[in-house]
Structure 1
Amino acid sequence: MTCGSRRLCVSTTTMSSSRCSLFRPCIDLHNGQVKQIVGGTLSDSDPDTLRTNFVARQTAGEFAQIYKKHNLQGGHVIRLGPRNDEAAREALAVWPDALQIGGGINDSNAKYWIGAGASKVIVTSYLFPNGKFSLDRLKAVNAAVGKERLVVDVSCRRRGDRWQVAMNKWQDITDMEVSKESLDMLSEYCSEFLIHAADVEGLCQGIDEDLVRKLGEWVTIPTTYAGGAKDISDLDLVDRLSGGRVDLTYGSALDMFGGQQVKFDDLVKENATRQAKNAVLSP
């Protein structure tokens, strides 16, 4: 199962079908621990709704060391609520300028996290005061760290045949629809997108194929999709549906996170093959 098994990779332009989708790792932090949480169950108002698939014995730094060992670039560290700063700093210190940081990022602290070792900062909720998108706030974060250091998280929930950006740990729906128009506008100020399909996140019941297909049509900058991946073949599926324009994050299905469906070592080998192919095909 490698990129090109279903289609021929021919170099054309940036973000074209010449590129192979990659595995992008994650470190989700809750109360200072690495966890895998079912999307949408993390609530500020009712902690009893929380559903956790996995709580790690290893620290965030130990996971960062694993990713560094295998050169798994572009991973994201997400602080889900308070009491996660120390764990986040530990992970960034292990592999400086290689991991992205998200959760509570704004124009005031974005530069601090770059200084702490983050390759990029990921911003979501700050862009939507009272659920309404603020271009001024996006410009402010952009001014603080620059376009190349900024990732916009447009994680979303499905509403019929559309997807609306969700904020505050995916609890609140915003006024922004995930569409070609919105992604084109956002891409003027950021260098990358992170998109969790919150309705399937943590369920290990399959990706949102419709969303991945649409992202392949819409995105013009590097994009990582997360949510529902349950088999190593999902990397081929995302590759095919998106034309190689979208990368994939695995979470609860991974054996390193207590899952039984996907072996981390197998995924590392597959990813190395894809990285080598991308390197050869890069113009």
Structure 2
Amino acid sequence: MSNLRIIPRLDIKGKNLIKGVQLEGLRVMGDPNDFALRYYEAGADELVFMDIVASLYGRNNLSDIISRAADQVFIPITVGGGIRSTDDARHILRSGADKVAINTAAVSRPELITEIAHHFGSQAMVLSIEAKLVAPGRWEVFTDNGRERTGLDVLEWAVKGVTLGAGEILLTSVDREGTRKGFDVDLVRKVSDAVTVPVIASGGMGTLDHFVDAAAKGRADAVSMAHVLHYKTLTLGDIRARALAEGLGVRQI
């Protein structure tokens, strides 16, 4: 069994790292590369960079930030936001990313998942799913930072995405994102049980207990967090130590 991965998430607007609540109400945190380097040196297993205004520009604008990060950070980097074609994916991968995360474009043209997996390998094709609870035990896929409804059922879409070639799922609970109230463990567990590829739980971490819940109860293969790290509420060392104490299979450093 592979290690449970600890993945800081960096949401980017323009040249700045920002943080919001439920993907809105954004605050500027600083230079994303400073944070990326700090998290790398503190033992992050991977990093996720999201261009959260890419839909406004029609393309991902992180190539400069990613190429700078790739020069000093030697762990896998996933980049998402505004990637709409294999050419867009190629551009980001050539900038230094290891994987691309796709949400809106995959919803509008699901065959893009297959095309990217075919060109760059399934391991480079991450299906990003923004989920909102719409009825007890039922979640709908949203796009554009949780603003646009799609009518798609999250579990059905996750299964279809993997069938089409996605090698990993980045699962963000829009309801929980930035709230520090904990992950939507029920959502994480149901998606993890439904697919055969790794699932990254994202959205809601506020305490070490939340991390443990996402991994142990949600059966996530990786856990992503932003607020607790950006505001220094917790450190990556705190998270790793607690995971080891709970017997969760994280990398020892």
Tell whether the structures are fold-level matches, with TM greater than 0.5.
yes
Structure 1: gaps spanning 5 or more residues: 1-13, 42-50
When residues 143 and 170 of structure 1 are mapped into structure 2, their CA distance, relative to the original with a 3 A threshold, is: same
1:242 alignment partner, one of 200, 215, 218: 218
* Stretch moving more, 83-92 or 215-224: 83-92
2:177 alignment partner, one of 195, 198, 201: 201
When residues 39 and 88 of structure 1 are mapped into structure 2, their CA distance, relative to the original with a 3 A threshold, is: farther
When residues 148 and 264 of structure 1 are mapped into structure 2, their CA distance, relative to the original with a 3 A threshold, is: closer
Q: Please state how far the C-alpha of 1:92 moved relative to its aligned partner.
A: 3.1
1:105 counterpart = 2:83: yes
Q: Percent identity?
A: 18
Distance 1:39 1:190 in 2: 25
Distance 2:11 2:244 in 1: 23
Contact 1:223 1:247 in 2 (8 A): yes
Question: Partner residue of 1:31?
Answer: 14
Structure 2: gaps spanning 5 or more residues: 55-60
Partner secondary structure for residue 64 of structure 2: helix
Distance 2:4 2:139 in 1: 22
2:226 alignment partner, one of 210, 233, 251: 251
Partner secondary structure for residue 87 of structure 2: coil
Q: Deviations over 1:47-80 (max 9, x none)?
A: xxxx13x4223x2222221232234223211111
Partner secondary structure for residue 6 of structure 2: coil
When residues 274 and 90 of structure 1 are mapped into structure 2, their CA distance, relative to the original with a 3 A threshold, is: farther
Contact 2:171 2:188 in 1 (8 A): no
Q: Deviations over 1:203-249 (max 9, x none)?
A: 11222122123123223211111111110111211122134x43221
Contact 2:79 2:100 in 1 (8 A): yes
Map 1:140-219 to 2 at 5 A: 140-161=115-136, 162-179=138-155, 181-188=156-163, 189-219=165-195
State the TM-score, normalizing by the size of structure 2: 0.84
Partner secondary structure for residue 190 of structure 1: coil
2:94 alignment partner, one of 112, 115, 130: 115
Contact 1:23 1:271 in 2 (8 A): no
Distance 1:203 1:190 in 2: 28
* Stretch moving more, 113-122 or 83-92: 83-92
1:220 counterpart = 2:196: yes
Q: Which runs of 4+ in 1 moved over 6 A?
A: 272-276
Map 1:58-97 to 2 at 5 A: 59-82=31-54, 84-95=62-73
* Highest RCO, 1 vs 2 (Cα 8 Å, sep ≥ 6): 1
Distance 1:21 1:279 in 2: 7
Contact 1:215 1:246 in 2 (8 A): no
Distance 1:274 1:68 in 2: 23
Question: Partner residue of 1:10?
Answer: none
1:55 counterpart = 2:34: no
Q: Which has the higher strand share?
A: 2
Partner secondary structure for residue 160 of structure 2: helix
The CA RMSD measured in Å over matched residues stands at 2.6
Contact 1:212 1:225 in 2 (8 A): yes
Distance 2:79 2:13 in 1: 14
Partner secondary structure for residue 155 of structure 1: strand
Map 1:114-133 to 2 at 5 A: 114-129=93-108
Q: Deviations over 1:230-269 (max 9, x none)?
A: 10111211122134x43221222x1x42264x34431244
State the TM-score, normalizing by the size of structure 1: 0.76
Contact 2:158 2:191 in 1 (8 A): no
Contact 1:64 1:95 in 2 (8 A): yes
Contact 1:20 1:274 in 2 (8 A): no
Contact 1:157 1:165 in 2 (8 A): yes
